[in-house]
Amino acid sequence: MGDQQLKAWFDAIDVDHSGRLDSKELQRALAMGNLHYGLNDVDQMVRAFDVDNSRSLGFAEFSRLHYFLVNVQNSFQTFDRDRSGRLTPDEVAQALQQAGFQLDGPAMMAMISKFDPDNSASLSLDEYIRSCLFLQTAARTFGAFDPQRTGQVHLSFNQFVYAASHVCG
């Protein structure tokens, strides 16, 4: 989808003509693209790509979310080698490694467990999107506490609560 097409779609789903999409407008737009998420999940998407903390997305923020979702779907299709519609832990690890995330085994399994509500030890596309969104938000939040990019942070309890409230949906 080209930028002009994406802008036309954005304008069409901006039902209040505010120039911004709130969570409900985005939820309807995702459903049109056959991605069905609860309002909490959609709000998490908004918060992950909302750079001005308005709890809504302007076109530039919406565009970044759109390309993120396209890339995640493409990654899912690439690494779902057996075309089962699910990614095994090994496939998730490979996909995330290609995306630049280096998680150790226990962290990877904890994340998969968090986003695997049916306990199948694999992730569907929706579950994989949620996990990638979680990692995107976690990386952004972690980065706020690691300005020198050392890969380690030291947090007070208040900072931890602040960070956790931005990562957990």
Show pLDDT as tens, one digit a residue, over the chain (169 residues): 678 999 998 999 999 999 999 999 999 988 888 888 899 889 989 988 998 989 999 999 999 999 999 999 999 999 999 999 999 999 999 999 998 888 999 999 999 999 999 999 999 999 999 999 999 889 888 998 999 999 899 999 999 898 888 776 5
CA torsion, ordered 96, 101, 103, 108, to nearest 10 deg: -30
State how far the alpha carbon of 83 is from the alpha carbons of 76, 80, 126, in Å. 10, 5, 15
Q: How far apart are alpha carbons 39 and 162 in whole angstroms?
A: 22
Identify the DSSP state of 87.
E
Contact 46, 55 (CB under 8 A): yes
Listed in order, strand segments (DSSP E) in 39-126 are: 86-87, 123-124
Contact 143, 15 (CB under 8 A): no
